[in-house]
Amino acid sequence: MPTSANSPEQTGHSPARSRPRSGRAPSQGPATAKAPARRAAAASPTLPDSTRADLDAAIAAVQTGTRSWSLLTLEQRARLFERVRAAVVTCAEEWATAAAHAKGLDESNPLFGEEWLAGPYAVLEAIDGYISTLRALATGVSPLASATLDAAPGGRVRAHVFPAESMDRLLLSGFTGEVWLEPGVTRDEAIATAGLGQLHPTDPATVGLVLGAGNITAIPVLDVFYELLAANRLSVLKVNPTQDTLVPIFERALAPLIEPGFLRIVRGGGDVGAYLTGHKAFSHVHITGAATTFDAIVWGTGAEATRRKKAGDPKLTTPITAELGGVSPIIVVPGRWTKADLAYQASHIATMRLHNSGHNCIAGQVVIVSRDWPQRDAFLTALRAAYASAPQRPVWYPNSAGKLDAASADYPDAQWSADHTRALVELGTDDDAQALETTEYFAPVLGVVELPGNGQEFLDAAVAHANDKLAGTLGANVLIDPDTEHALGDGFERAIAELRYGGIAINAWTGIVFATPVLSWGAYPGGTLAEVTSGIGVVHNTLLLSRVERSIMRGPFRPFPRSLGRRTRFSVLPKPPWFVDARTGTAVSEGLTRWDMHHSIPGLIATLTRAMRS
């Protein structure tokens, strides 16, 4: 998702490269270099001996833990995660508060609640999903047993996995989630392979390195869980320096994994990252960060990288997976929208860009709209108002000022708001969109590009434009009113199948795909060591499904009470709590997390009451 200060070269989120135009990886396993053996860690001239000794001790502790992990039964692993759950509950409030303060938000800021959902809420959702999967496997039942499987376009099997429980239908009312498997995977294969590493729990465990993200606090924790359960791989987690203040909280929340040697958490900058990625002890590396950081790890920097790439001789000889971000489209399919629809979806788009001050790998960046839509002007007026009036907050991520300066230089006619901390770039037919479409600004920069057409013609053109012009393959958003979707019929589903993105949100935001860990998270298949685009492999995926291609979240186009309309997905939510202008967003976000923590009915009633006033 964000930049990682984990490589030999400390970088910001760099311009993402364009996607491969054709072809796909045969699976989403780790990419493996061709060199015959891993090298020993090279002693960094800037790394003190004491630091190297501490890092080696952390690695040795996890190596020792591999023996204990392989002896645990599936039921014992489920009980271990119950202990992790209890520890997270005790730390949740401190976790959310510390994360908010680190980003310059105090308790009076209306966006304080973001850190509940982006931290302990997502982690608790994942823990509950993994416990359910472990218990199913322990009784000889496939994790997919309770899911509905059907056919998706292109010969794909689709698993309807969300809502997973009856309460999901209330708390995320109107939202449904699907995991699509790669073409060629059969229904029987999907069921038989669900469980990944936990199908063979007694296989020898290995040790991997997780280079954590710096923007969303759930990311490194969720990555560690997935490594452990999908691959029986114990982790040394190096946190990004932006999360150093969270480390004591992580250590308490994850103490049940740390105590037996299943996990160690270390800190440090690029020198520590360089030492660890070169260490011979690791069988695998996973990074969440920028493509420049990935390349520095795999190929080196400067002339060395050029030489190695040309020779096909990567510096890193260890298999690696990665999640690296990109430029996310928001495709606005023209239809007949009411004034309330225009205002609501404008607020929705502002949220996609401004959540976490735009420091998200799946922050919507390019709005694709029809220049022939009769309501185009009304839509853009609503978007300008929603974007400019959203609550102000610090632009806190390192190097963000430079990204905003770059946007100002790229587009001197951009509209600036919030004390010149957010830009709206509206491009005409003859304007150059290259910088907007190939630079992941990782800051509050939102652009609008126009294409001709209406209906299926526009949708197909917008999908092709997103696939071919925008950098990256991580997440795409599509907004479409129910009457237009009904009119397009199978053509709409075919267009969605053509979108080459690992996460797709229809009348939702891909950030909710990330925060719903029963869904997979990662780039569309096709990334390689030489052309990594948005990454290699997936994480999350609490059902532990094999050969995942993408996940799709579908939401309601209209909120309550307008969700009572014809063909509209029903929702009880007047406005989801993650919207940046939700008046009760903080209270509802905290309340949803506390429901996950304690399952208190009075607390749930109070939360739903607040949600109705959002």
Last residue of a domain, one of 238, 258, 289: 289
3-class secondary structure, 486: helix
Structure tokens at 283: 């069988």
In this structure, the answer to whether residues 275 and 368 fall within a common structural domain is no
User: For 193-219, how does the pLDDT look when each residue is reduced to its tens digit (9 = 90+)?
Assistant: 999 999 999 999 999 999 999 999 999
In this structure, the answer to whether residues 354 and 441 fall within a common structural domain is yes
Q: Is the pLDDT higher at 244 or at 567?
A: 244
Evaluate whether 330 touches 364 at the Cβ level (below 8 Å).
yes
Closest CA to 178 of 481, 571, 554, 478: 554
pLDDT of 217 reads 98
Whole-model pTM: value is 0.93
Give the C-alpha separation, 130 to 124, whole Å. 10
pLDDT band at 421 (very low <50, low <70, confident <90, very high): very high
In this structure, the answer to whether residues 242 and 108 fall within a common structural domain is yes
pLDDT of 40 reads 41
Q: Specify whether the backbone of 106 is left (phi greater than 0), alpha (psi in -120 to 50) or beta.
A: beta
In this structure, the answer to whether residues 594 and 571 fall within a common structural domain is no
Evaluate whether 212 touches 2 at the Cβ level (below 8 Å).
no
In this structure, the answer to whether residues 473 and 570 fall within a common structural domain is yes
Last residue of a domain, one of 268, 289, 310: 289
Q: Which residue do the tokens 């759950």 mark?
A: 85
What are the DSSP E strand ranges found in 229-303? Answer: 233-238, 263-266, 284-288
Evaluate whether 324 touches 291 at the Cβ level (below 8 Å).
yes
pLDDT band at 24 (very low <50, low <70, confident <90, very high): very low
Identify whether 244 is part of a domain: yes
In this structure, the answer to whether residues 424 and 571 fall within a common structural domain is yes
497: containing domain: 328-582
pLDDT of 22 reads 38
The DSSP letter of residue 613 is T
pLDDT of 11 reads 35
The residue-averaged pLDDT of 432-460 equals 97
Q: Which of 50-59, 167-176, 226-235, 530-539 has the lowest mean pLDDT?
A: 167-176
pLDDT of 567 reads 83
Closest CA to 291 of 322, 269, 314: 322
pLDDT of 95 reads 98
Q: What rounded mean pLDDT belongs to the chain?
A: 92
Identify whether 322 is part of a domain: no
User: For 62-115, how does the pLDDT look when each residue is reduced to its tens digit (9 = 90+)?
Assistant: 999 999 999 999 999 999 999 999 999 999 999 999 999 999 999 889 999 999
pLDDT band at 568 (very low <50, low <70, confident <90, very high): confident
Give the C-alpha separation, 376 to 381, whole Å. 9
pLDDT band at 27 (very low <50, low <70, confident <90, very high): very low
Structure tokens at 351: 């949220």
In this structure, the answer to whether residues 458 and 518 fall within a common structural domain is yes
pLDDT band at 167 (very low <50, low <70, confident <90, very high): confident
pLDDT of 46 reads 79
Give the C-alpha separation, 512 to 531, whole Å. 27
In this structure, the answer to whether residues 474 and 508 fall within a common structural domain is yes
Identify whether 520 is part of a domain: yes
pLDDT band at 165 (very low <50, low <70, confident <90, very high): confident
User: For 186-199, how does the pLDDT look when each residue is reduced to its tens digit (9 = 90+)?
Assistant: 999 999 999 999 99
Last residue of a domain, one of 289, 319, 343: 289
Identify whether 7 is part of a domain: no
The residue-averaged pLDDT of 323-339 equals 97
The yes-or-no verdict on residue 336 having pLDDT over 70 is yes
User: Residue 35's Cα: distance from chain center in Å?
Assistant: 31
The yes-or-no verdict on residue 614 having pLDDT over 80 is no
In this structure, the answer to whether residues 481 and 547 fall within a common structural domain is yes
What's 545's domain CATH number?
3.40.309.10
The residue-averaged pLDDT of 541-563 equals 96
Q: Which amino acid is at 214?
A: G
What's 86's domain CATH number?
3.40.605.10
In this structure, the answer to whether residues 575 and 600 fall within a common structural domain is no
Give the C-alpha separation, 124 to 577, whole Å. 18
Identify whether 590 is part of a domain: yes
Q: Per the structure, how many domains does the chain have?
A: 3
pLDDT of 572 reads 87
pLDDT of 45 reads 54
pLDDT of 18 reads 43
In this structure, the answer to whether residues 121 and 200 fall within a common structural domain is yes
User: For 338-381, how does the pLDDT look when each residue is reduced to its tens digit (9 = 90+)?
Assistant: 999 999 999 999 999 999 999 999 999 999 999 999 999 999 99
The residue-averaged pLDDT of 464-491 equals 97
Identify whether 187 is part of a domain: no
Give the C-alpha separation, 163 to 183, whole Å. 24
Q: Is the pLDDT higher at 171 or at 586?
A: 586
pLDDT band at 573 (very low <50, low <70, confident <90, very high): confident
Identify whether 560 is part of a domain: yes
Q: What is the DSSP string of 103-154?
A: TT--TTSTTTTHHHIIIIIHHHHHHHHHHHHHHHHHTT--TTTTSEEEEETT
Evaluate whether 508 touches 578 at the Cβ level (below 8 Å).
no
The residue-averaged pLDDT of 520-532 equals 97
Residues in contact with 76: Cβ distance below 8 Å, sequence separation at least 6, in sequence order: none
Using CA atoms, how far residue 604 sits from 589, 609, 610, in Å, is 11, 9, 10
pLDDT band at 511 (very low <50, low <70, confident <90, very high): very high
Q: Which of 11-20, 46-55, 180-189 has the lowest mean pLDDT?
A: 11-20
Evaluate whether 23 touches 234 at the Cβ level (below 8 Å).
no
pLDDT band at 33 (very low <50, low <70, confident <90, very high): very low
Identify whether 38 is part of a domain: no
In this structure, the answer to whether residues 492 and 470 fall within a common structural domain is yes
